[in-house]
Structure 1
C-alpha cells in the first residue's frame, strides 16, 4: 500500500517523533522513506535594501551542509534498521516544498509530527501540517509530539 513515505523534518526532536511510527510502517510494507528538510529563504528585501552577497552565500552554504549532515544521520539511523531511506533538501516555502517533493517522488503517504499546542483545533496541529492537510491529495499521517526536551 505505502511504497514511498515522505517525512518532512526540521532538525528538532519534536519533528523526529514521527520516525518510530514510520519505522514500523517501513518494515511492514518494505517502503522507501524519503526524509525532507526545507530551508526557508531568509531574505525578504525591500526595494532599496542592499545585501552582502558573499556573506549570504557563505551562510547559505553553511546551513546547507548542516542540513545535509542532519539528513544523512537520520538516513543512517533508518538504514541500520533495514529500512530503505533517501534524503532531499529543498529551499523555499515549506508547505509548497513538501507538496512538490511528494509529487516528484510519487509519495503514497506524507508523515508529519506536529507540535502540541492548546487552543483551536487548527492551531493544535501547526501551520505546516494545516497547509499540507488542506492541499495534499495523498494520505497524511499526523502524530502529535511533545516538546523538544
Structure 2
C-alpha cells in the first residue's frame, strides 16, 4: 500500500549561490519511515530554482555561476521588467533555464543520488531571501 508524506523546508539564502539542501532533505526522509518511493522536490519561487550537481569540487559551483552570468547578465538597459531591481529579470531567466521541480527516487529511505551529487537551491537574486522548498514523498 502506498503512503504519502509532505514537508516544507525554509532555507535562507545570501545572494547568488548554490545552497546545498541534501542533508535536511535526507533527515526528513528518514523521519517519514517510508523506505521506497519517489520524492518530489519543488521550490515555490520564480527567481530561484533547484538543481542536482556535483558537491565535491567547489569549482563546479563557481563555473556554473559564471556560466549563468554570461547567459543572463545583469543590466538596467537589457530588460523591460525591472520593477524589483536589475537582478530580477536575469533571475527569472536563470530560473527558466533550470528546474523548479525535481523527481528523485528513494530506496531504503535514502535519495538515490550519485556519489558526487548533491541537491541545491540555485539562488539567482541579490540580497537575502527566505526560500520555501516543498517535499512530497509517495512510497511504502
Q: TM-score, normalised by structure 1?
A: 0.24
Tell me which protein shows more helix as a share of its residues. 1
Q: TM-score, normalised by structure 2?
A: 0.25
